[in-house]
A and B are shown apart, each in its own frame.
Chain A
Amino acid sequence: MRDVGYVVAGYAVTLAMLGAYRWRLAVRTRRARRYLSTATGRTGPATGRTGAGWR
């Protein structure tokens, strides 16, 4: 029964890592967009609407 604790901890760590990284990326996106909006004087999202990551 004690082993179940290790299993639950493993699955929880996995989901927490994925969630935390996705949240961190969202924060970085917001920060960069806010900076670009301020720097360029545009009110909307500065860039990155379509196919943004690659092109």
Chain B
Amino acid sequence: MRYVYQALTLLGGRRAQRVMGAGTLAGLAATVAVGLFVVPPDAEQGDVQRLMYVHVPAAWVAYLSFGVVFIASIAYLKTGRVQWDRVASASAEIGVQFCALTIVLGALWGRPVWGTWWTWDPRLTTTAVLLLIYVGYVSLRSVADNPVRRARWSAVVGIVGFIDVPIVHMSVVWWRSLHQEATVLRPGAPTIAGSMLAALVLGFVAFSLAYGYLLAVRMRVGRLEDRSALPVSELSTARARRPRPLDAPAPTVDVRHA
């Protein structure tokens, strides 16, 4: 856990954020270029299959985000450190965006291939439930006014809600589904052509970078908003602030909820 803490500290730095931001832009540009113009169309579905290069990475980032919420929620309940709550909150918000994007992209893909925007298929239904769980998580955070209670309640929801992620992933195996089975995140070798797999991996990298970048920025926003929520009397004002002597060690901030 200490190493995760150190890695997050590193990623929170402004230089790391700039690098990730530039990497995200380059990765997304490459994904769009490769997905639209380089990879050949699918033999059966034609051009519409190109949606796979954004639909599947979006779903992956949604899984990743909710996985991070799960881990950070456990870490918060174990340590009481407010930073873990901030990670969970940031990751859930990003996960909701990507989960909604996955559903929209799936609808755009489903219309020409299945002939419908939406059907109550096990994969689609469990994904919609997943989205609702984390929309509830984000809403819960805005309802609870006590920061400690808010962090505890949302940590419990973040842990319990994650149960739906493996259900979503395995739904195409467990139940008869219109949705195709996993082609990459499955036991054994991926059942996909090499060039398509390369484009998909590029999408995974670009979207994962986007996730890392957005997480770092969102955590900075979370810290600022947490400070904004404090009573003005608890904020150190310019007049009250005393300059720290040059030889004094930098203050270590280790905020824990009681």
Contact = CB atoms under 8 A, between A and B. Distances in A.
Nearest to B48: A3
Interface string B87-127: 10010001001001100110011011000000000000000
A20 to B, nearest CB: 9
| Chief secondary structure at chain A's binding surface | helix
B232 A39 contact: yes
Contacts of A7: 36, 47-48, 50-51
B97 A48 contact: no
Contacts of B248: none
Contact of B47 (A4, A40, A49): A4
A9 B108 contact: yes
Contacts of B35: 11
A41 to B, nearest CB: 4
B225 A28 contact: yes
B108 A10 contact: yes
B217 A53 contact: yes
| Chief secondary structure at chain B's binding surface | helix
User: Which of A2, A32, A36 counts the most B-chain CB atoms under 10 A from its CB?
Assistant: A32
A54 B32 contact: no
Nearest to B219: A53
Contacts of A47: 223-224, 227
Contact of B221 (A25, A46, A50): A25
Contacts of B54: 10-11, 14
A55 B13 contact: no
B100 to A, nearest CB: 8
Give the interface size bracket for A toward B. Answer: 35 or more
Interface string B198-232: 00000000000010001011111111110110001
Given A18-B28, A36-B235, A29 B221 contact: yes
Given A17-B101, A22-B217, A36-B228, A54 B36 contact: no
Nearest to A19: B28
B103 to A, nearest CB: 11
B154 interface: no
A45 to B, nearest CB: 9
Interface of B: 8-9, 11-14, 28, 32, 35-36, 46-48, 50-51, 54-55, 58, 83, 86-87, 90, 94, 97, 100-101, 104-105, 108-109, 111-112, 210, 214, 216-225, 227-228, 232, 235-239, 253
Given A13-B108, A41-B237, A51-B14, 4 more contacts: A10-B109, A11-B35, A11-B54, A33-B224
25 contacts: A3-B46, A11-B54, A14-B54, A17-B97, A17-B100, A18-B210, A18-B214, A29-B217, A32-B225, A32-B228, A33-B224, A35-B228, A39-B228, A40-B238, A47-B223, A47-B227, A50-B13, A51-B12, A52-B14, A53-B12, A53-B86, A53-B90, A53-B216, A53-B218, A55-B253
